[in-house]
Amino acid sequence: MWRIYILALISFLIGSSQFITSGFLDQIAAAMRISIATAGQFTTAYALVYAIVTPIVTSLTAKIDRKKIILCSFGVFILGNILSYFSSSVGVFTISRIIVASGAGISVVIALTIASQIAPIGKKASSIAIVTIGFTIALIIGVPIGRLLSSTFGWRSVFLIISLLSIIAVFIIIVFIPKVQNDQNTSIKEQLKLFKNPRVIMGLMITLFWLSGYALVYVYISPFLTKGLKLSANLVVLALFVFGIACLVGSKIGGYCADRYGVINTLLVSMVCDIVSLSFLTISINSAIYIFIFLFFWSATVWSVQPAQLANLASLIPSQTSMILGLNQSVSQMSMAIGSVLGGVIISFSPMTSLAWLGNIGVLGSIICVLFLKRKLVTDKF
């Protein structure tokens, strides 16, 4: 079981590299002399490459030993982060993020695959959950620590530290992770067949609208807090810690409520609370106390959706859960790309706080999708 935690380390490093730029996006923009809206498009490039490359490469390498693939893909991830450290222009930094994304997506999928196959009997689900916790920890400590490091040593230092930790992780993988063969059919053809199922399409649309609305704000969270809500720059690190802790709390609550009260009910209540808490956060200008309170509630309600939505997707076609969750990974990244693009356009012409109001529209769209899916599930029974 302890080997699973090595895979969780990988997801932590990958999650940190992806989310961490949101913590110091304003510093990247200032260093490269570009607008915050333009800097936000680094996330767009990352997310699009992640979403497109991951399923294709995963399919093409299906018959190759999983350990070899994760070592190669993680090596690409490391090279990308090293290039991020040395980048001095928008073009080079964009290329570095593309390289990082190319390795990150495949590494995550393979890490989950390995976890499911080396897990002890009866511990498959919990092993996969442990790997995904790495992303949660990245939000809790990776993002705020990244902001702290960037403020102290410069934002490029963060990518160097991630690279060094990743190199150590590679040696650990070589020594302790066994060879594993893929036991599932993950061909592109099989994945495309799922789009013929209206329930799968509606389930993925929930992710698309919900995460797009979330990304509108989260990609620009640092300038949203400082420029939009007038929070002191000295309090941003603490605010990001609060956000991360709330993420963990929300995930636990969402999982509990999904089991006790049902997936659909949990999704609907969480999304409504998401809209309410973000609305109150947006009107908490110049009040650090209220900003911290509603930032906590917003993060908790957003991430209470995550376990319920994963359970929802897993229940649609139980025999093809792995592929559906894989497609959901791609849709999640597409959502991040959409959110970062729309967010960049919005803040170019509107106040920073307008991100939240339009983000709520995205969440409202996901509520409509949940209601349609609920109706579809009911009618399919008869």
313 and 242: one domain? yes
144 and 80: one domain? yes
Q: Residue 343 corresponds to which tokens in the numbers above?
A: 């967010």
Mean pLDDT of 41-46: 90
13 and 1: one domain? yes
233 and 168: one domain? no
- Please check the confidence at residue 236 and state whether its pLDDT lies above 80: yes
Q: SS3 of 190, please?
A: helix
Mean pLDDT of 327-337: 86
Residue 208 CA to residue 301 CA, distance in Å, equals 17
Supply the pLDDT for residue 66: 81
Q: Residue 85 corresponds to which tokens in the numbers above?
A: 């450290």
Supply the pLDDT for residue 113: 76
- Please check the confidence at residue 382 and state whether its pLDDT lies above 50: no
- Measure the CA dihedral 334/336/342/347, to 10°: -170
pLDDT in tens, 277-321: 999 999 999 899 999 999 999 999 998 888 888 788 877 877 676
CATH number at residue 199: 1.20.1250.20
Residue 114 CA to residue 104 CA, distance in Å, equals 15
Q: Are 299 and 224 contacting, i.e. CB atoms less than 8 angstroms apart?
A: no
* Residue range(s) defining the domain that contains residue 375: 187-382
Sign, CA dihedral 132-134-137-139, equals negative
Supply the pLDDT for residue 369: 93
> What's the structural domain count of the chain?
2
Q: Which of 159, 186, 213 is the last residue of a domain?
A: 186
Supply the pLDDT for residue 238: 92
Sign, CA dihedral 241-341-306-326, equals negative
Q: Are 12 and 135 contacting, i.e. CB atoms less than 8 angstroms apart?
A: yes
pLDDT in tens, 9-35: 998 999 888 888 888 988 999 999 999
Confidence of residue 262 (pLDDT cuts 50, 70, 90): confident
b/e burial code for range 120-150 (CB count within 10 A of at least 16 → b): eeebeeebbbbbbbbbbbbbbbbbbbbbbbb
Supply the pLDDT for residue 168: 94
Q: Please state, rounded to an integer, the average pLDDT across all residues of the chain.
A: 87
208 and 348: one domain? yes
Residue 23 CA to residue 185 CA, distance in Å, equals 38
222 and 140: one domain? no
Q: Which of 186, 203, 238 is the last residue of a domain?
A: 186
177 and 193: one domain? no
15 and 86: one domain? yes
Closest by CA to 329, choosing from 340, 318, 321, is 321
262 and 356: one domain? yes
pLDDT in tens, 125-153: 567 667 777 877 887 788 888 989 998 99
Q: Residue 313 corresponds to which tokens in the numbers above?
A: 């997707």
Closest by CA to 330, choosing from 102, 57, 119, 53, is 53
Contacts of 63 (CB under 8 A, 6+ apart): 181, 182
Q: Which of 186, 201, 225 is the last residue of a domain?
A: 186
Confidence of residue 99 (pLDDT cuts 50, 70, 90): very high
The DSSP result for 46-93, as a single string, is HHHHHHHHHHHHHHHTTTS-HHHHHHHHHHHHHHHHHHHHH--SHHHH
The DSSP result for 230-267, as a single string, is ---GGGHHHHHHHHHHHHHHHHHHHHHHHHHH-HHHHH
271 and 299: one domain? yes
381 and 363: one domain? yes
- % of the chain surpassing 70 pLDDT: 93
37 and 12: one domain? yes
Sign, CA dihedral 242-244-245-250, equals positive
Q: H or E stretch including 336?
A: helix 321-349
pLDDT in tens, 177-223: 888 776 555 566 767 777 788 888 898 999 999 999 999 999 899 89
Supply the pLDDT for residue 126: 66
Residue 48 CA to residue 335 CA, distance in Å, equals 9
